[in-house]
Amino acid sequence: MSRLSQFVAIQATFRIHPGRREIVDRLLGELDRRASDEPLVLFHEASFQSDDLALRIGFPSAVSLLDHLACTSDGFERLLSETDLIRMEVHGPEAELSQLRGPLGVFQPDWFVLAAPRS
């Protein structure tokens, strides 16, 4: 089994405000273009279920995640103005998550600690 390990990821679920899907689609396009210019973004994916948006973004480290958020904070704020944040999860090794608990704490995410690799 091929396994990319020790990375950190955010999965956030948003409820799109009525009549705002087109605006959200444009914002996601902008965020995706910006992410594609960043070499340390491992993946940036959006999926939909009715009026809910799930956004998944992966990074090799907590530092690269924080750098990305700093570079895209204006786009994220615009996204939050068109949606309601329903849930946020942050996944990764404890050493990386410990660097994110303060900066991301305002969003009250659920923290998922990566299990140690099994042999």
pLDDT value, residue 111? 98
Q: pLDDT of 96-119, one tens digit each?
A: 999 999 999 999 999 999 987 655
Integer CA distances (angstroms), 107 to 67, 77, 89, in order? 17, 13, 10
Q: What tens digit of pLDDT does each residue of 53-83 get?
A: 999 999 999 999 999 999 888 999 999 999 9
- What does the domain layout of the chain look like in residue ranges? 8-113
**Phi, psi dihedral angles at 115 (to 5 degrees):** -70, 150
Second-level CATH architecture of 8-113: 2-Layer Sandwich (3.30)
Strands 43-49 vs 8-16: parallel, antiparallel or unpaired: unpaired
